Structure 1
Amino acid sequence: MHNLVQPITRTCPISRIGNGVGHHFFGYYDKTNWGAGDRLLLGHRVAARDFELVADSAAEVGYFDLAGDGAFHPCGRTTAWNWQMGSQLQWLDATRSERLIYNVRTDGGRGLYPGFGSVVFDLTTGASRELDTPIYVAAPNGRYALAVDYERLYITHRTIGYVGLAGPRADLPLCPADDGIHHLDLETGETRLLVSYADLKALDHRPSMDKAIHWVSHIEINPSSSRILFLHRWTERVEDETCFLHRLITMDPDGGNIRLLECSDHPLPQLQENFDPSAVGTFDYEKSEYQISHPLWRDDRHIIVWGPHAGSIHYHLYADADPVQVSVVGREVLTENGHMTYSPADQRWLLSDTYPDPVSNERILILYDALRGVRYDIGSYYTDPALTKENRCDLHPRWSHDGRRVCIDSMHEHERQMYAIDVSSIVGA
Structure 2
Amino acid sequence: MVSFPSCHRLGDGKQHHFFGYYNKSTWDRSDRYILANRVSMMDARLTPELVSEVGYFDTQDSDRYHAVGTTTAWNWQMGCQLQWLDDAPGPQLIYNCRSGDGTGIYPGLRSAIHDIASGRTRILPLPIYVVAPNSSYALCLDYRRLYITHETIGYSEHGGPFTVPLAPGDDGIRRMDLATGESHLLVSYADLSSFHPRPSMDKAIHWVSHVEINPASNRILFLHRWTERVEDETCFLHRLITMDPDGGNMRLLECSDHPLPQLAENFDPAAVGTFDYEKSEYQISHPLWRDNEYIIVWGPHAGSIHYHLYHDADDGDVQVVGDGILTENGHMTFSPVNPRWLLSDTYPDPQTHERVLFLYDMDRKTTVPLGRFYADPGLKKENRCDLHPRWNRAGTKICIDSVHEKTARQMYVIDISGITG
Interval of TM-score (by shorter of Structure 1 and Structure 2): over 0.9
Q: CA deviation at 1:95?
A: 8.2
Q: Distance in 2 between matches of 1:164 and 1:256?
A: 33
Corresponding residue of 1:256: 248
Q: CA deviation at 1:253?
A: 0.3
Q: Distance in 2 between matches of 1:69 and 1:196?
A: 47
Q: Distance in 1 between matches of 2:141 and 2:184?
A: 11
Tell me, yes or no, if the aligned pair for 2:21 and 2:388 is still in contact at 8 Å: yes
Tell me, yes or no, if the aligned pair for 1:383 and 1:411 is still in contact at 8 Å: yes
Aligned counterpart for 1:345 among listed residues 337, 347, 353: 337
Q: Distance in 2 between matches of 1:228 and 1:399?
A: 21
Corresponding residue of 2:415: 422
Tell me, yes or no, if the aligned pair for 1:26 and 1:33 is still in contact at 8 Å: yes
Corresponding residue of 1:181: 173
Q: How does 1:403-414 map to 2 (within 5 A)?
A: 403-414=395-406
Q: Distance in 1 between matches of 2:220 and 2:29?
A: 24
Tell me, yes or no, if the aligned pair for 1:34 and 1:94 is still in contact at 8 Å: no
Corresponding residue of 2:79: 86
Corresponding residue of 1:365: 357
Q: Distance in 2 between matches of 1:95 and 1:175?
A: 36
Aligned counterpart for 1:390 among listed residues 379, 382, 386: 382
The TM-score with structure 2 as length reference comes to 0.98
Q: CA deviation at 1:46?
A: 0.4
| AA at the equivalent of 2:281 | E
Q: SS of the residue aligned with 2:225?
A: strand
Identity of aligned residues (%): 65
Q: SS of the residue aligned with 1:289?
A: coil
| AA at the equivalent of 1:31 | K
1:127 aligns with 2:123: no
Tell me, yes or no, if the aligned pair for 2:87 and 2:135 is still in contact at 8 Å: no
Deviation beyond 4 Å, 4+ runs, structure 1: 94-97
Q: Distance in 2 between matches of 1:347 and 1:96?
A: 28
RMSD, aligned α-carbons: 1.2
| AA at the equivalent of 2:53 | E
1:266 aligns with 2:258: yes
Aligned counterpart for 2:198 among listed residues 206, 212, 217: 206
Q: Distance in 2 between matches of 1:97 and 1:64?
A: 16
Q: Distance in 1 between matches of 2:131 and 2:2?
A: 36
Label 1:299 to 1:95 Cα distance change in 2 as closer, same or farther (>3 A): farther
Corresponding residue of 2:315: 323
Aligned counterpart for 1:165 among listed residues 158, 163, 171: 158
Q: CA deviation at 1:366?
A: 1.0
Corresponding residue of 1:111: 104
| AA at the equivalent of 1:308 | P
Q: Distance in 1 between matches of 2:219 and 2:365?
A: 29
Q: CA deviation at 1:258?
A: 0.1
Q: 72-81 or 14-23, which moves further after superposition?
A: 14-23
Q: Distance in 1 between matches of 2:74 and 2:302?
A: 37
Label 1:402 to 1:215 Cα distance change in 2 as closer, same or farther (>3 A): same
Tell me, yes or no, if the aligned pair for 1:220 and 1:297 is still in contact at 8 Å: yes
Label 1:178 to 1:105 Cα distance change in 2 as closer, same or farther (>3 A): same
Label 1:304 to 1:319 Cα distance change in 2 as closer, same or farther (>3 A): same
1:72 aligns with 2:65: yes
Structure 1, unmatched stretches of 5+, are 1-7
Q: Distance in 1 between matches of 2:361 and 2:265?
A: 46
Tell me, yes or no, if the aligned pair for 1:246 and 1:264 is still in contact at 8 Å: yes
| AA at the equivalent of 2:159 | A
1:36 aligns with 2:29: yes
Corresponding residue of 1:238: 230
Q: Distance in 1 between matches of 2:103 and 2:372?
A: 46
Q: CA deviation at 1:343?
A: 0.1
Q: Distance in 2 between matches of 1:75 and 1:95?
A: 18
Aligned counterpart for 1:229 among listed residues 221, 225, 232: 221
Q: 403-412 or 108-117, which moves further after superposition?
A: 108-117
| AA at the equivalent of 2:389 | P
Q: CA deviation at 1:70?
A: 1.3
Q: CA deviation at 1:50?
A: 0.7
| AA at the equivalent of 2:283 | Q
Q: How does 1:43-62 map to 2 (within 5 A)?
A: 43-62=36-55
Tell me, yes or no, if the aligned pair for 1:36 and 1:95 is still in contact at 8 Å: no
Deviations 1:88-143 (A, max 9, x none): 00001278651100000113243221110000000010000001100000101000
Deviations 1:165-220 (A, max 9, x none): 33332x20011010000000001101100000000000010000000000000000
Deviations 1:139-179 (A, max 9, x none): 0100000000000000000000001233332x200110100
Q: CA deviation at 1:18?
A: 1.5
Q: Distance in 2 between matches of 1:109 and 1:293?
A: 33
1:100 aligns with 2:105: no
Q: Distance in 2 between matches of 1:76 and 1:20?
A: 20
Corresponding residue of 2:276: 284
Q: Distance in 2 between matches of 1:306 and 1:83?
A: 22
Q: CA deviation at 1:274?
A: 1.4
Tell me, yes or no, if the aligned pair for 2:386 and 2:402 is still in contact at 8 Å: yes
Tell me, yes or no, if the aligned pair for 2:19 and 2:26 is still in contact at 8 Å: yes
| AA at the equivalent of 1:281 | G
Q: Distance in 2 between matches of 1:273 and 1:267?
A: 15
Q: Distance in 1 between matches of 2:199 and 2:394?
A: 47
Structure 2, unmatched stretches of 5+, are none
